[in-house]
């Protein structure tokens, strides 16, 4: 009986930890992978949902913060993204800021081929004339790798 009590306590502790972790991130939280610095800004890139799969709506997201004060940067101008794969370019795609999450910019896509891609974000910072670019490599996995085959003999 004492063993069951310890197991229940452990499961409760894990559940509480998961709830606290989930509450620490807003609903639009994205798992970001890599940060680069450009033009006095920290640009962090990620895809959502994770894992990034073929044949699914995929958001490419860039979280941008000022290096000076770590605050979200909300004044990108003429922001667009080009996606590259195997030497071929797709885009440019307009990059939109999130109304609910300042400093978060995104595009949305449906990828039809698995493999390694590169996103190239270009933008002007506020009223500045200079165009800045930052690139990130990411991977799209084949959706079929996560699918469970249907049962033999019919059945739904």
pLDDT range class, residue 146, cuts 50, 70, 90: confident
The CATH code of the domain at 28-145 is 2.60.40.1930
What residue spans define the domains of the chain? 28-145
How many Å apart are CA 123 and CA 135, to the nearest integer? 12
Is the pLDDT at 102 greater than 60, yes or no? yes
Q: Would you state the pLDDT for residue 120?
A: 98
List pLDDT tens digits, range 77-100. Answer: 999 999 999 999 999 999 999 999
Chain centroid, CA 130 distance in Å: 26
Which range (2-11, 35-44, 117-126) has the least confidence? 2-11
d(CA 38, CA 67): 9
What's the pTM? 0.74
């Amino acid at each position: 009986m004492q063993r069951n009590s310890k197991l229940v306590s452990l499961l409760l502790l894990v559940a509480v930890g998961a709830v606290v972790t989930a509450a620490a991130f807003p609903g639009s939280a994205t798992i970001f992978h890599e940060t680069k610095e450009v033009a006095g800004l920290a640009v962090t890139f990620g895809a959502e949902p994770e894992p990034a799969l073929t044949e699914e709506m995929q958001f490419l997201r860039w979280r941008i913060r000022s290096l000076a004060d770590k605050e979200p940067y909300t004044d990108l101008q003429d922001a667009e993204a080009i996606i590259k794969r195997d030497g071929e370019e797709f885009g440019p795609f307009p990059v939109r800021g999130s109304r609910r999450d300042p400093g978060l910019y995104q595009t949305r896509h449906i990828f039809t081929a698995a493999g390694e891609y590169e996103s190239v974000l270009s933008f002007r910072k506020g009223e500045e004339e200079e165009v800045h670019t930052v690139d990130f490599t990411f991977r799209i996995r084949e959706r079929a790798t996560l699918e469970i085959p249907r049962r033999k003999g019919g059945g739904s």
